[in-house]
Amino acid sequence: MKSLDEMIAAAQNAAQTIQTQMEQAQATLDKLEVEGVSGGGLVTIRATAKGRIIGVNIDESLLQPSEKQMLEDLIAAALNDARSKADSVSNAEMSKMTQGLPLPAGFKLPFGN
């Protein structure tokens, strides 16, 4: 039977391994890109899976003063679409990392989110 010290050391090693994997997963998420689209492609937003906005593309046909409100609505819709896709990619990547870990149902990593 393992001593208490050996079990504590094993738990500390497992925690360090999980921490390293989390750091690697977070770095990966900042490299994965998603694209939010609205208005049938008139507005596109590129973002990382962590939700950092990389770029915005607006079709020139929307650059009319009379289209201001519609453009603002389309930008908001594209941002929300990009955020939703970023969340999906992030969740998929994090579930890959936590596969096989003996975590209780509903337990979410990372702890701060």
Q: Is the confidence at residue 82, as pLDDT, over 60?
A: yes
Q: Quick check: is 43 in a domain? A: yes
Angle at 17 between CA 11 and CA 21, to 5 degrees: 145
Q: Quick check: is 18 in a domain? A: no
Q: Quick check: is 14 in a domain? A: no
pLDDT number for residue 112: 43
pLDDT number for residue 59: 92
Q: Quick check: is 113 in a domain? A: no
CATH number, residue 63: 3.30.1310.10
Range of the domain at 77: 31-95
Q: Quick check: is 9 in a domain? A: no
Q: Which residues, listed in sequence order, are joined to residue 46 by a DSSP beta bridge? A: 35, 55
How does DSSP assign 39-89, residue by residue?
Answer: GGGTEEEEEETT--EEEEEE-GGG-SGGGHHHHHHHHHHHHHHHHHHHHHH
Cβ-proximal residues to 80 (8 Å cutoff; 6+ apart), any chain: 36
How many structural domains does the chain have? 1
Neighbours of 34 (CB within 10 A): 21
Q: Quick check: is 57 in a domain? A: yes
pLDDT tens digits, residue range 17-70? 888 888 887 888 888 898 999 999 999 989 888 888 888 999 999 888 898 899
Q: Quick check: is 4 in a domain? A: no
Q: For residue 101, name the pLDDT band (cuts at 50, 70, 90).
A: low
Q: Quick check: is 6 in a domain? A: no
Average the pLDDT over each of 13-17, 64-68, 71-75, 106-110 and give the range with the smallest value.
Answer: 106-110
